[in-house]
C-alpha cells in the first residue's frame, strides 16, 4: 500500500468502482419508463457528480494537484446519502440521516469517499426492511459521523481486523474499511467500529477534524485566571470574532455570553436585569460591535444602560472615526478592529481594577 492513501492503487480503484456503481444505479433510474422529466434531471445531476468524483480520484492517484475548499459537513454527508438512495432501494433498506448542527471541514473528496465506503458497507450488511442510520454530531474540534445498521454486527474479536482487510461479507475484498481508515488518519481523523451487541447490528464512527475549530490555548495560557469571575456580554454577529473571544476570555476565567441580534440582546439584558442585585449575577462588561445594533443604536444603548447600569461598555469597531451620537455621548472604552485578544484582556483587566467607568 502506498504511504499516501490517496495514491494507494487498490484503495483508489475501490473508490472509483464505488462511484461507477452509484452512477450506473442512477442511469437505471433515468431510463425508467416511470421517470418524470424532473426525476431524470435529478438523476443526471448525481450521475455527473459521481463521474466527476471518479475523475478526480483518478487524477489524484497519479499526482495531479487538487484545489479544495472548506465545506459544511452536512453538505458532504447529504450528497453521499442522496447518491446512495438507489443502492439502499436495491438492498430493500431505508437510508436515514440525522443531525442538524453544521461545521466546516477540509478534504471534501476524502471525507466523501470515507462516508461512501462506510455507508455502502452498512447497506451491504443490512437485512431486508432494515434501516441504515447516518448521524452527524459536532464537537469543538471534530465532527463525528456514526453509521449504524441492523445487520449481523461485528464480533468483538474482529473489530480491528476489518480495518486490516478482513471482510465480513462473502466475496468482499476488505479494501473499503482499510482504505477509509487510512484516508481519515491521513487527515487527522479516524474510523472505528464501536462496541455494540452484534445482535443489534453494527455502528462505525468516523472522526474528522473541523476546519473552523477555534485553537485551544496552550496549557500555560489555560491556567491564566486574570479574568476569573468576570461576566462579559459580547454583542457581535461575526461568528469568527465571537469564537475568538469565547475561547480567549474563557481561558482566562471569564464567563462569556453572546448576542448576535437585537432580539438576543433584549433577551440577554432581561436575564441580566433579573439578576442585577444577585451577587455574581450581574454583568461586569459589555463588548459592543455596532453592526447588530445599527438599526437603532440609541435605543440599544439606552436599554443596555437601563438593564446594566454598572457594566462597563467596550465598543469594538473598525470605524472608530464615525461613531453614532448615541455612542459618543456614552462613557465607553474603544477597541479598534482588527484586534488581538490580549487588547481586550488588557481593557477588561483595567476595568476590573477601576471602580468607575472611563
214 inside domain = no
Query: In the numeric block, which cell numbers belong to residue 27?
Result: 442511469
300 inside domain = yes
pLDDT in tens, 82-107: 999 999 999 999 999 988 667 899 99
E-strand ranges in 163-228 read 190-193, 202-209
Shared domain check, 117 and 147: yes
Residue finishing a domain among 174, 190, 209:
209
Distance, in Å, from the CA atom of 178 to the CA atom of 201, rounded to the nearest integer, reads 20
In CATH, what number is assigned to the domain containing residue 86? 3.30.565.10
Q: Check pLDDT > 50 for residue 2.
A: no
Shared domain check, 227 and 183: no
Supply the Cα-derived Rg of the chain in whole angstroms: 27
Shared domain check, 306 and 197: no
Shared domain check, 247 and 203: no
Shared domain check, 306 and 240: yes
287 inside domain = yes
298 inside domain = yes
The pLDDT of 69-82, averaged and rounded, is 92
Shared domain check, 42 and 191: yes
Shared domain check, 274 and 155: no
E-strand ranges in the chain read 71-72, 94-98, 104-105, 131-138, 142-149, 190-193, 202-209, 231-235, 255-259, 285-288, 312-317, 332-336
Distance, in Å, from the CA atom of 10 to the CA atom of 13, rounded to the nearest integer, reads 5
Residue finishing a domain among 164, 187, 209:
209
Cis peptide leading into residue 338 (ω within 30°): yes
Query: In the numeric block, which cell numbers belong to residue 39?
Result: 426525476
What pLDDT score was predicted for residue 219?
44
Q: Check pLDDT > 60 for residue 172.
A: no
247 inside domain = yes
Would you state the torsion angle of the CA atoms of residues 102, 104, 107, 110, taken in this order, to the nearest 10 degrees? 0
Angle, vertex CA 185, rays to CA 124 and CA 80, nearest 5: 40
Shared domain check, 73 and 39: yes
Distance, in Å, from the CA atom of 133 to the CA atom of 203, rounded to the nearest integer, reads 9
Mean of the per-residue pLDDT values of the chain: 84
What pLDDT score was predicted for residue 321?
57
Shared domain check, 295 and 152: no
Q: Is 184 helix (H, G, I), strand (E, B) or coil?
A: helix
**Residues 178, 193: contact at Cβ < 8 Å?**
no
Query: Of 142, 152, 137, 147, which Cα lies nearest the Cα of 197?
Result: 152
244 inside domain = yes
Shared domain check, 249 and 312: yes
**The model scores a pTM over 0.85:** no
Range of the domain at 202: 5-209
Residue finishing a domain among 179, 209, 239:
209
358 inside domain = no
In CATH, what number is assigned to the domain containing residue 301? 3.40.50.2300
Shared domain check, 184 and 60: yes
Percent pLDDT > 90 in the chain is 40
137 inside domain = yes
What share of residues in the chain are helix, strand, coil (percent, to 5)? 50, 20, 35
> Number of folded domains in the chain?
2
Shared domain check, 237 and 195: no
Amino acid at each position: 500500500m502506498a504511504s499516501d492513501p490517496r495514491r494507494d492503487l487498490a484503495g483508489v480503484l475501490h473508490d472509483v468502482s464505488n462511484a461507477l456503481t452509484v452512477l450506473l444505479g442512477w442511469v437505471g433510474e433515468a431510463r425508467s419508463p416511470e421517470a418524470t422529466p424532473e426525476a431524470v434531471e435529478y438523476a443526471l445531476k448525481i450521475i455527473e457528480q459521481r463521474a466527476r468524483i471518479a475523475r478526480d480520484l483518478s487524477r489524484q492517484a497519479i499526482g495531479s494537484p487538487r484545489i479544495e475548499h472548506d465545506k459544511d459537513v452536512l453538505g458532504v454527508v447529504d450528497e453521499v446519502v442522496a447518491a446512495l438512495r438507489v443502492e439502499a432501494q436495491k438492498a430493500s433498506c431505508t437510508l436515514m440521516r440525522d443531525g442538524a448542527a453544521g461545521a466546516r471541514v477540509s478534504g471534501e473528496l476524502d471525507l466523501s469517499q470515507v462516508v461512501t465506503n462506510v455507508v455502502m458497507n452498512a447497506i451491504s450488511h443490512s437485512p431486508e426492511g432494515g434501516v441504515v442510520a447516518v448521524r452527524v454530531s459536532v464537537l469543538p474540534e471534530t465532527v463525528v459521523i456514526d453509521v449504524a445498521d441492523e445487520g449481523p454486527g461485528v464480533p468483538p474479536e474482529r473489530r480491528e481486523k476489518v480495518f486490516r482487510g478482513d471482510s465480513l461479507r462473502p466475496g468482499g475484498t476488505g479494501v473499503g474499511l482499510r482504505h477509509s481508515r487510512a484516508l481519515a488518519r491521513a487527515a487527522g481523523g479516524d474510523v472505528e467500529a464501536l462496541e455494540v451487541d452484534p445482535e443489534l447490528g453494527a455502528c462505525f464512527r468516523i472522526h474528522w477534524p473541523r476546519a473552523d475549530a477555534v485553537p485551544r490555548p496552550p496549557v500555560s495560557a489555560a491556567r491564566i485566571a486574570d479574568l476569573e469571575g468576570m461576566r462579559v456580554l459580547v454583542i457581535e454577529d461575526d461568528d469568527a470574532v465571537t469564537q475568538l473571544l469565547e475561547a480567549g476570555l474563557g481561558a482566562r476565567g471569564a464567563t462569556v455570553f453572546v448576542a448576535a441580534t437585537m432580539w438576543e440582546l433584549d433577551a440577554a439584558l432581561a436575564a441580566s436585569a433579573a439578576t442585577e442585585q444577585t451577587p455574581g449575577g450581574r454583568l461586569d462588561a459589555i463588548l459592543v460591535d455596532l453592526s447588530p445594533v445599527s438599526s437603532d443604536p440609541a435605543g440599544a444603548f439606552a436599554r443596555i444602560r437601563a438593564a446594566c447600569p454598572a457594566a462597563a461598555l467596550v465598543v469594538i469597531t473598525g470605524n472608530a472615526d464615525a461613531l453614532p451620537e448615541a455612542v459618543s455621548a456614552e462613557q465607553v472604552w474603544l477597541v479598534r478592529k482588527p484586534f488581538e485578544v490580549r487588547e481586550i484582556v488588557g481593557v477588561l483587566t483595567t476595568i476590573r481594577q477601576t471602580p468607575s467607568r472611563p
